[in-house]
Chain A
Amino acid sequence: MGPYGKNPGRLITPLKRVRGLGVSREEGTSHFIAQRVNGLALIPLTFWLVYGVIAHIGSSYAEFMDWATSLSTATLLAFTIMASFWHAAMGLQVVVEDYVHHEFVKVCLLALIRISCFGFALLGLISVLKLAL
């Protein structure tokens, strides 16, 4: 619940809301829902990934490539990578917002989180495509 009770938008001018710093800058609800939808998608993907990794522990490079280059594996790997990095970026963002109170350090860390999650997600997706194509 925000500083103005159950209905933060009720009977409050925009200026008053800005001075109270708003309710997580008005993005809290969509962030909350996106984090959970991502988590939900990651449940079956995690089981699939763990199975895939275990099944290929003793495989040769050729056997691994047979698995990794199939259309279904490539699609699910890309899905797992995107959902994981999105979920990670949102989760790390909340940790930083909770525990880093120095505004400049906080903004830098939030930028670093988004840039590195985006960069590593790209590396993952391009690797999956390079393997599959």
Chain B
Amino acid sequence: MGGFRGPALSTETYRIAIVGSGPGGLSAAAHAAKLGVSHVLLERADHLSDTIYKYQRGKFVMSTPDILPLRSDVTFAAGKREAILGNWDRQIAELKTNVRYKSDVVEIKKAEGVFNIRLADGDTVQAENVVLAIGLQGNLNKLTCPGGDLPLVQYQLDDPGEYEAETIVVIGAGDAGVENAVALAKQNSVVIINREAEFARVKQGNLTLILNAIEKGDIQCYYNAEPARVEPNAIILNTADGEARVPCDRIIARIGASAPRKFVESCGIKFPNADRSALPEVSSTYESNVPGLYIVGALGGYPLIKQAMNQGLEVVEYILGNKLAPADEPLLQRKFAGLGGADVDAIIAEARGAIPVFASLNPLLLRETLLESDVHVLKKDAIVFKRNDYTSSFFTIMRGSVGIQINALDPSVVVTLPTGAFFGEMGLISGRRRSATAVATSDCVLLETPRRTMLKLIKSVDSVRRTLDQTAIMRQVQTHLAPGVSVADLRPMVETVELKRYKPGDVIFNQGDKGDDMHLIRAGSCTVSMRVGGRDIVLSYVPSGNYIGEMALLSDAPRSATVKAAHATETIRIQGDAFKALLDSQPALKAKVEAKFRQRIMQNEQMQRRPEAGNIIQFLIEQGVGEGTDVLLIDESLCVHCDNCEKACAETHKGISRLDREAGPSFANIHVPTSCRHCEHPHCMSDCPPNAIHRAPDGEVFIDDSCIGCGNCERNCPYGVIQLASPPEEKFNLFSWLLFGKGPGPGEEMAYEELKYAGKPHADKQKRAVKCDMCKDIDGGASCVRACPTGAAMRVSPEEFMSVALLG
């Protein structure tokens, strides 16, 4: 049938009825309309896509995952809420889609092969197939306490700018609650209610925002508090100290959404378990356990707009009995092109069969992982990566074998890894340089999975984490503690180890403790300090790949020093007895460990006599230099404050300096300016929606052109070295400035006035995140250091600054 707007006639039986006009539903309806299939799209509200309609005004909607192509008859690209909604309205109308607004579905019952869909207004719609595209946001969790239905309570915030000089209570410590609270705090007095003792569920960027706002007093927070009841102009909270009354003008409750379980179950659909967040299971054609009843989008577990839209088109094809390869099929085909033309399914099956780490992934997850991985077809003797490269991706061997050159001095010492094995996990875990060179020992096919994808897998799939940890621990022990000892000899000790995680400042062990274990640092770094004359003297900085705590073990004495995590640190804890047993059976290793022991005693002696060097280490650790890999320091005994470093930075980066020389703390002669340290595990990388932040093989952390300017990295960086900036205007050349005073000079930005008269105000341009990239695209190293006339600016790695500190 063609289409007409307005109420559908209830006598007709449609081929497809689609419930919900979110991205999934409207894409399905549009496709049905285009194919001329009889259909109806039932929408509860009087407009399309109510969830997005209710986003904050002007919100930037993202189109992740970028790599996935959109397959729909309506278009969608990242952009402002208004633009996206306008676009959909227009296209749905153009396709003559049959939309029935204000149609709240209350019941779906199947009788004699036809679904009877009862609406709230009493009408009934009949259809052969039903697509449930209702998402989760239509079923917001409501306040259940008395007074939860009073008019001052709302569950949505359209435009935070609408409210002014009100006292607003935000309930809920998730992302939505935090975003609302922060936006409202600009012109209102805001109180946020957190049921827990911390904000554990929010994105890192939002965490920084809310904690800063609370610390500055912009937002007041009640922790461990729950609403007890609501009064017409106040809310009563149950807190740890009893009831608290918070007078307010408005309450915004953002306490999540869940599957409208009752309704879904009433349709005959089963849930796998009783968990509140459980979602119904669907087949690979999105069909539920009720034949003819399909589920797409968030309700089926795919919350992203693009995924839902693709599923909308696909489900219509499946209903019509057509076969359709998934949207990512051409991408995978291209990816596997070098593998001799086998089809995608066969290759996925081969990967699953050959690679044990991936064997336990479900088909969709494996597909996604492969989609994000690169396939390398290598000839014998090709180099995969070199020792000291700064890459952090993870490799698995699909065909052939790879040799790891474990000895830096003798490349002929090679451990060969067979098909199915993985390598590169040490760089992934420690964030440091590759500890060995990997070479193809036969013609081989490798899968290279990016760090981010692997971290996601490790977090979400237990079996991946377990497999990875077991192998990684053995290899780390073998590389850093006991080189040359066979796996068989190490196994008894490795079986007793456990992984320990420490937050910055956590004590790993205290001076004077009984020492019955030792730690191998696998990620992060530690400081060793000793209490002398009533104060702590830092003796050394120990980066990952080193072990600590062996001194007490070897001498059977109490701990001689305190070891603290300098930042987030992971260690492998080794039982003392097992380690001693290993030493007894390995005389060569014992000699080596004892030699290191003597060296440490000597170093500790030296450092105790020079507390000022320890103070400098302590200071630099406090500034977070310890987790950096390349840090800009300024020797204040040489710096003439000419700011040429800043100007050089601005000039090499199109006018925007990524460094603030004057800002930042100083100690003794060392100044730590505000400038990127290229952290081992960059905080900025942790939540970048377009995955635009990378680490180059030489270690530079940089942002590429795919940045969307969301600001997450700026918020996530604890050192404030990332800023959002509009791309600058072209400037006049040096001589017109030098001789005729034209335009801004080196290192200066075009003044706003100059831009305004040129008709180019800043604000029109999309801002992007900028940060130091260590001038990786220029020969000769970082401009700041090269442009320092007195040699005060220097770039050092933490291992080096130990020596710098010692020299000082």
Q: Do A and B come from one complex?
A: no
Give the interface of B toward A (CB within 8 A). Answer: none
Give the interface of A toward B (CB within 8 A). Answer: none
